[in-house]
Structure formats: structure tokens, C-alpha cells
Chains A and B, each alone.
Chain A
Amino acid sequence: MSGWLLADGHGGPVIPNFGQGSACERSGGWFCTDWVRANWSSTLQPALVQHVELTVIAVAVGFAIASLLAVVGYRWRPFDVPLGVFTDFLYTIPSLALFILLVPFTGLTVTTVEIALISYTLFILYRNMVAGLRGVPDEALEVARGMGLTRVQTFFRVELPLASPAMFAGLRIATVSTVSIATVAAFVIPKGLGEPILTGLQQSFGTEILAGSLLAILLALTADGLLALFQRGVTPWTRVR
């Protein structure tokens, strides 16, 4: 083996000192704050930013598509059952399997992950939106008809606002779930907070697992909180209890 080296004329490569790591890191401890500080900007922060991106895109696009589907399913009953069954079915496919099955189509890219995540948000959002629209009391519709509003006007001025609490509830659930499922994306592409969790798992390094996990949980709860505030601001009448 050393024949390769001697031919070069050099005695061997220079091996820099990489350090031995702190005692905490070497034992794979759970609370190595020095590791967190050293690796925040190179590993943890990029993972967090990627995770936010993954989630925002998935929820935004899922919301847009689900809104359209919900209107269709609400207005034309025959569509509701197949749409409901389809979104139900998507939800039962394990996230990892869905990622794998999409890879031949869209490659090892963010697109693959997004398509899968959007499918899951569709399930939650569609159901909630249709239920919200259906939950509009008949009296309100009667009043609208009495006022002489057209079908379209009734939808935008009466049904939509009254359905919004349910829709927002769905949006919050979908967002939190997406943050959670997006961690599985790390099996496909090395992006998002699932990456430090998986790497930590491979190296039995508790700190990295904990860092990734806590960031994911905090992100989910923060998103939920922000949406709750947004919901309160926009639908104050639901505050009355």
C-alpha cells in the first residue's frame, strides 16, 4: 500500500491536529453546550432555516390548493366524497414511503419533499375547510338571501367569514404537523432539522439529537402561536366564550 506514497516522493501527508473534542462530546453527551455554540452557524441554523422554508412552502401551496378543492367539494356534493377519500388515502401513506416513491419522478430534490408535504396538508386542510363551510348556520344564509345577496356575495360576505374559525384551526394543525413530518425529509435530502437528528443518531450523539428535536418542537409551537394570534386578530368574535 505504501508503494503509492513513495512514488510521490513525499514521506506522507501532513495530518493537522483536529483536537480531541471536549469530554462531553467524546462521550456523546446530551448537553454539550460548547458543541452547540461551535456548530450553530454551520449546522443548526442552516437546518432551521431550511426547515422553515420547507414548511412555509408546503403550507402555503397546500392552503391554496385545499381552498380551491374545498370550494368545489362544498358547492358540488358529488365531488366531495371522492376528494375526501383521495385526501384520506394520501394521509395513510407513510411519509417515508411517499418520499421514496416520488424520487424517480422528481429526483433527490426539495420538490419531491414538497409534493409529499403538500399532500399531507391537503388532507387536514380540505377536511377542515369543508367542515367549516358546512358548519355555517342556515339562519345566516337565510338572512343573506333575505338581503338579496347573490350566490357569490353570500359566499364571500357570509359563508367564508363564518367558516374561518374552522379553517384557521385546520391551518394551525396543518402547520404544526408539517413541521413535524418535514423532519423525515432528511432521509431523502440533507435539509431541515431532521438532518442533525439523524446524524446524531448515527453517532450516538445526544446533543445533536436534542438540538435538532428541540428546534423542531419550538418552531412548531411558535408557528402555532403566531397563527393563533393572527386568528384572534382576524376573527375577534370567536373570542367570546
Chain B
Amino acid sequence: MILGDSFTPGTFADAFRFIFDHATLMLDKTAETAELSFAALGVALLLALPLGLWLGHRHRGLFVALGVSTIGRALPIIALVAFFITLFGSIGFWVNAAALIVLAIPPLLTNAYFGIEGVDRDVVEAARGVGLKESQILSRVELPLGLPLLLAGVRIAAVFVIATATIAGTVGGGGLGEIIANQASYGLSGVLAAALCVSALALVTAFVIGLARSAASRRMAPRT
């Protein structure tokens, strides 16, 4: 599908010039990729978090958590996209979102599970002894303590989804992937430009979530 123009150090400079020359295009496409990624992440969070939190709280379903994690990693993105395309019979936003949601669930589920499950049992017992209801234990004790690990999972899922969302672009999903898949029209500098934008989007997202994670850890650190 792809072939080389020649890749010289100049191509990097060309890529940056491409971004400046086509600023609106790059912004639009980046926004499209971001929209797809965050929508998929959102839905995946809604689906995976409650299950993961509940299982972790009950200390049940270790095999589910581990199994889902492994299988999720084993699912090739193009297989998922191909499956949903043929299932829905069309291309478009929700076909790709469906594939990304399936991919995002495993890391979210696993980290939610281990985040809650790993909370010191003594602390949980103490809370129970004080008379807190189960739901309160989960929301007021386990969740804050498990938040760092949970957010680490969100970060992993976010980076993965953003990078993978570009593959969706090759099957009409729009976004930066459309540029990457279209070397004939945009040239190698365009492809590099799009790849750099994806990287930037992923790194910025990871950084922001990382900040949240640090804040969560610090808040829970024992004060001595």
C-alpha cells in the first residue's frame, strides 16, 4: 500500500512546514481523531469501570480480570474493524468507535479491578467496623486509594486508543489516519506530519492524565 519517496533529514523539516501550511487541515483532522478516541474511551469507561470496581471490591473474578486483559491485548485492531464493518455493513464513526471501545475496555477493567482489590484489607475492615455501608466503603475508601492504579490504566488505554484510532482512518474513519493512508496525495512529509500530530496528541493526553494520577497518589500519601 505504501512506498518510498526518499526520506532525507529534510523530510522532517518538510513535515513541520506541512503542518504550518496546512494548519487548518491538521487541526481538523486531529480534532476528528481526538473526538473518536475520547468518545470511545468515554463509553469504555462507562462499561468497564462499574464492573471492574465492583469485582475488585468483592474480591471476585480475578480470572475474568486477567483473562479479559490478555484477550483484549490479543485482538488485532484490523480484525475488530473488519468485523464491525461487515457487521454494520458500512464505514463511519461508530463502526470505528465500536472497535476502539472493545480495545479500550481490557486495560480499564483490569486496572480498576486491581486498583480496588489491592487496597489494604485492614483499612477496609476498619471502615467496615466503623459502620460504613458497602457502597460507601467503595466510594469513600477504596476508590480514592485505588485511584492511582486506575488512572494508570486510563492513561494506557488513552495512548493505545489514540494511536490505534489512526488505523481506523484507513477505512474511511477520518482523522489523521486518513492522511497517513493517503501518501499519494499528501506525500511522505504529510504522513510524517500526521504521525507527529498523533504522537503529540497521545503524549499530551498521557501527560494530563499522569498529572491527575500524581495528584491522586500525593493526596493519599501518608502524612508523617
Contact = CB atoms under 8 A, between A and B. Distances in A.
B194 A217 contact: no
A221 B70 contact: yes
A101 B164 contact: no
A42 to B, nearest CB: 21
Contact of A91 (B163, B181, B183): B163
A197 B183 contact: no
B34 interface: no
A228 B181 CA distance: 37
B108 interface: no
A2 interface: no
B85 A100 contact: no
Contacts of B82: 197-198, 200-201, 209, 213
A216 interface: yes
B70 to A, nearest CB: 6
A68 B120 CA distance: 36
B6 interface: yes
B195 interface: yes
B180 A183 contact: no
- Of A94, A99, A179, the most chain B CB neighbours within 10 A belong to A94
Interface string B92-107: 0000000000000000
Contacts of A107: 4
A84 to B, nearest CB: 12
Contacts of B198: 92-94, 97
- The secondary-structure label for the interface of chain B is helix
B76 A177 contact: no
B7 interface: yes
B202 A92 contact: yes
B221 interface: no
Nearest to A192: B76
B70 A176 contact: yes
A180 B74 contact: yes
Contacts, number: 136
A67 to B, nearest CB: 22
Contacts of B73: 173, 176-177, 180, 220
- Of A176, A200, A206, A212, the most chain B CB neighbours within 10 A belong to A176
B79 A213 contact: yes
A197 B162 contact: no
A105 interface: yes
Contacts of A97: 166, 180, 191-192, 194-195, 198
Contacts of A216: 74, 76, 79
A89 interface: yes
B183 A179 contact: no
A101 B70 contact: no
A73 interface: no
Given A92-B159, A201-B85, A104 B4 contact: yes
B74 A94 contact: no
B78 A194 contact: yes
Contacts of B127: none
A188 to B, nearest CB: 6
Nearest to A217: B74
B199 interface: yes
B192 A94 contact: no
B77 A184 contact: yes
A36 interface: no
B33 to A, nearest CB: 10
A51 to B, nearest CB: 10
B70 A93 contact: no
Given A96-B170, A194-B76, A200-B82, 16 more contacts: A92-B203, A92-B206, A93-B199, A94-B163, A94-B164, A94-B166, A96-B167, A97-B191, A100-B183, A101-B191, A103-B4, A197-B76, A201-B85, A209-B83, A213-B82, A217-B75
